[in-house]
């Protein structure tokens, strides 16, 4: 994530990865304030055994695109909701990448963080049967939680 304040959103990705049994790391890597940290992180990601990068950022949200430009790994960007433009600035910064530097862009905020983790889990599940089972169980629980008929809310 680009800053400590992004943790409010990005912790949902970490929690989801944990629930799926996907080993992961959590780091603050700012494209603007810690550019050398970004270079080191992104250029060594594959050699350190990472398979996917989830990058959450708000405002100008350059982190996902910059990371994608420095690693061959899939990068999933999570637009963090900003105060000024409610995350639309982040979304547009992440989704509007030039051809040749792909970033898979998810929804703004918590839903995007959870879905980024589920998408990363889907990639990992291609190589890891235990993660595939956990992902199947996640989906089964989600399906089972949906009622067949509506009920009135208590007054």
Was 90 annotated as part of a binding site?
A: no
139 is in an annotated binding site: no
Q: How far apart are the first and last CA of the chain?
A: 42
User: Could you give the CA distance from residue 43 to residue 73 in angstroms, rounded to a whole number?
Assistant: 10
Tell me if 48 is assigned to a ligand binding site.
Answer: no
b/e sequence 21-51, b meaning 16+ C-beta within 10 Å: ebebeeebbbbeebeeebeebbeebeeeebb
Q: Which residues are annotated as a binding site for substrate?
A: 3, 6, 33
Q: Which residues are annotated as a binding site?
A: 3, 6, 33
């Amino acid at each position: 994530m680009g800053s400590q304040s992004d943790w409010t959103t990005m912790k949902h990705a970490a929690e989801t990865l944990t629930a799926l049994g996907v080993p992961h790391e959590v780091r603050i890597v700012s494209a603007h304030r810690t550019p050398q940290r970004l270079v080191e992180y992104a250029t060594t990601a594959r050699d350190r055994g990472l398979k996917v990068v989830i990058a959450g950022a708000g405002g100008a949200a350059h982190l996902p695109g910059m990371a994608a430009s420095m690693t061959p790994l899939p990068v999933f960007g999570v637009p963090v909701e900003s105060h000024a433009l409610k995350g639309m600035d982040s979304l547009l910064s992440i989704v509007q990448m030039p051809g040749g530097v792909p970033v898979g862009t998810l929804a703004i905020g918590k839903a995007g963080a959870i879905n980024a983790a589920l998408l990363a889990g889907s990639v990992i599940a291609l190589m890891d049967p235990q993660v595939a089972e956990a992902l199947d169980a996640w989906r089964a629980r989600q399906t089972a939680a949906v009622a067949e008929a509506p009920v009135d809310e208590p007054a």
